[in-house]
A and B are shown apart, each in its own frame.
Chain A
């Protein structure tokens, strides 16, 4: 039995007008995806600079972009330490959110009792704004680090929980029947069928949770207020605000936004690497 006819050969004829237009479009999208945002940024920075210079706006009201960069470099030792603190909280919270979210999701799919009993409370925790819970947390939790972590975790775990639960329940029905026929144990079904099925959903939740844990860490720090040693970026922003050090506020803001972008890009990359061999979302379409 030959399988040769499964692949049709491609004839190297010259492309027609439609095909040329399609190629032009593809090239434009490839280049434009990167260059257009860069052009927009340059225009914005120039406009910002001109507005500040022409209107002679004092730097304690609105610093120009040059001064912000200057401050970022000058204050780097302070800001970098703060960045490390914030990132530490963020990543720890994300790790705990992954453990808690996946753990609860597995528990929920193993027992309808547990799911029905506790799912509503997971929703309540999620929909209650963290700024309204955080002050209470800092009253009852002595350790500042534990308090920050708890806040960030509360914000970040839900997308992982709900996405993973959805994924665990969306395993193919034919495969489920097959596992039953072949006498799979509950553990085998979870490990070989449900967890791999849930992976794309989990990774989608993880990307959202990455951004949320940064938000959670920053908000919690605002609420926790003056912390003295080991202060993160949010504290530096507050502090600079009190001192009307507006350029430093902008510099810290750039670091926070940059961290968010890096976290998102890193998690997107991780997701791509894990799914690229088999999942639709990671496949390049040919034609």
Chain B
């Protein structure tokens, strides 16, 4: 990805000196500044309590910053947002395709008018055969795929993911990591991905924002300058190992700062 064009282009989203202070004076986040450009895959990496989920919730407009600003540029807004939480958060009473329909449904679109998009999203995550199944009939990994299909059915500019694969077994997680990169390539969205896994963040992202706790803050930003598409070969390559060491060192530094 050429850096020049990125530097010139306006960011999709700009966070300037955002603080979040919770009731009782707990500083969850201090001075977060971040420019999110179109096409970025940014990981927020850090120990628990570093405010990475708080940052994500502020971007999603579920929380308002105590100080500082979050601005969407151009015609973009929170309308251009898809989210995936740690849990699949599917509606158990609705079928897979009804769950994926939800973002459109809340915009007042009938199922028939967006049926093609819904089926396309399900096809992208490999679940078109399960469109009429209920969530309880699916495995954990498949439920997460439905959740991802729901996040991208409207083709949003930005997808927020809050530790989406943390509860899955490693084999499923690796496979979903691969699939996620493939998907991002296909639909060309921007992703902000919260994780506490060094390996996951290096494999997925081109920018890693390392955060420390108490108070939650950014201590370093790393670039993973490895070309996409990345595959299993990248996962076993020496450069991957080198990036992992770098990220791991930064994470250790973050944890010592908090201790």
A1 at the interface (CB under 8 A from B): yes
B78 at the interface (CB under 8 A from A): yes
Would you call A278 and B106 a contact (CB within 8 A)?
Answer: no
- Interface 9-residue window, one of B89-97, B202-210, B214-222: B89-97
Least CB distance from A201 to B in Å reads: 13
Bound: A196/B136 CA distance, A: 16
A-facing mask of B69-83, CB < 8 A → 1, else 0? 000000000110101
Would you call B79 and A175 a contact (CB within 8 A)?
Answer: no
B179 interface neighbour in A1, A180, A277, A278, Cβ under 8 Å:
A1
Least CB distance from A202 to B in Å reads: 13
B103: chain A residues within 8 A (beta carbon): 182
Shortest Cβ distance from B61 into A: residue:
A181
B175 at the interface (CB under 8 A from A): yes
Would you call B83 and A172 a contact (CB within 8 A)?
Answer: no
Least CB distance from A186 to B in Å reads: 12
Count the B residues whose beta carbon is within 8 Å of the partner chain — how many? Answer: 28
B175: chain A residues within 8 A (beta carbon): 1
Bound: A168/B212 CA distance, A: 38
Bound: A277/B103 CA distance, A: 23
A3: chain B residues within 8 A (beta carbon): 126, 142
A183 at the interface (CB under 8 A from B): yes
A80 at the interface (CB under 8 A from B): no
Known: A172-B89, A174-B89, A178-B89. A278 touches B139 (CB 8 A): no
Most A-side CB within 10 Å, residue of B81, B93, B141, B142: B93
Bound: A175/B88 CA distance, A: 9
B89 interface neighbour in A175, A188, A196, A278, Cβ under 8 Å:
A175
Known: A1-B175, A193-B91, A196-B91. A181 touches B85 (CB 8 A): no
Secondary structure of the A side of the interface? helix
Would you call B139 and A6 a contact (CB within 8 A)?
Answer: yes
Would you call B142 and A6 a contact (CB within 8 A)?
Answer: yes
Shortest Cβ distance from A200 into B: residue:
B93
Least CB distance from A167 to B in Å reads: 12
A278: chain B residues within 8 A (beta carbon): 92-93, 134-136
Most B-side CB within 10 Å, residue of A175, A178, A192, A278: A178
Count the A residues whose beta carbon is within 8 Å of the partner chain — how many? Answer: 23
Would you call B85 and A180 a contact (CB within 8 A)?
Answer: no
B106: chain A residues within 8 A (beta carbon): 179, 182-184, 188, 192
Known: A1-B126, A181-B60, A184-B106. A174 touches B85 (CB 8 A): yes
Known: A1-B179, A177-B85, A180-B62. A277 touches B91 (CB 8 A): no
Least CB distance from A274 to B in Å reads: 10
A184: chain B residues within 8 A (beta carbon): 106
Would you call B93 and A196 a contact (CB within 8 A)?
Answer: yes
Most B-side CB within 10 Å, residue of A179, A182, A183, A283: A182
B89: chain A residues within 8 A (beta carbon): 172, 174-175, 178
Bound: A6/B138 CA distance, A: 9
Bound: A283/B102 CA distance, A: 25
A91 at the interface (CB under 8 A from B): no
B126: chain A residues within 8 A (beta carbon): 1, 3
Using a CB-CB cutoff of 8 Å, which residues 122-136 of chain B contact chain A? 126, 134-136
Bound: A287/B106 CA distance, A: 39
Least CB distance from B86 to A in Å reads: 8
Shortest Cβ distance from B126 into A: residue:
A1
A85 at the interface (CB under 8 A from B): no
Would you call B134 and A277 a contact (CB within 8 A)?
Answer: yes
A238 at the interface (CB under 8 A from B): no
B105 at the interface (CB under 8 A from A): yes
Using a CB-CB cutoff of 8 Å, which residues 1-58 of chain A contact chain B? 1, 3, 6
A74 at the interface (CB under 8 A from B): no
Shortest Cβ distance from B150 into A: residue:
A178
Question: Which 9 residue pairs of A and B lie closest in terms of their CB atoms, listed nearest first?
Answer: A174-B89, A182-B106, A196-B93, A1-B126, A278-B92, A184-B106, A6-B139, A278-B93, A174-B85
The 26 sampled A-B contact pairs (Cβ below 8 Å) are A1-B126, A1-B175, A1-B179, A6-B139, A6-B141, A6-B142, A172-B89, A174-B87, A174-B89, A177-B60, A177-B62, A178-B102, A179-B106, A181-B60, A181-B61, A181-B62, A181-B78, A181-B81, A182-B107, A183-B79, A183-B106, A184-B106, A193-B91, A199-B93, A278-B134, A278-B135
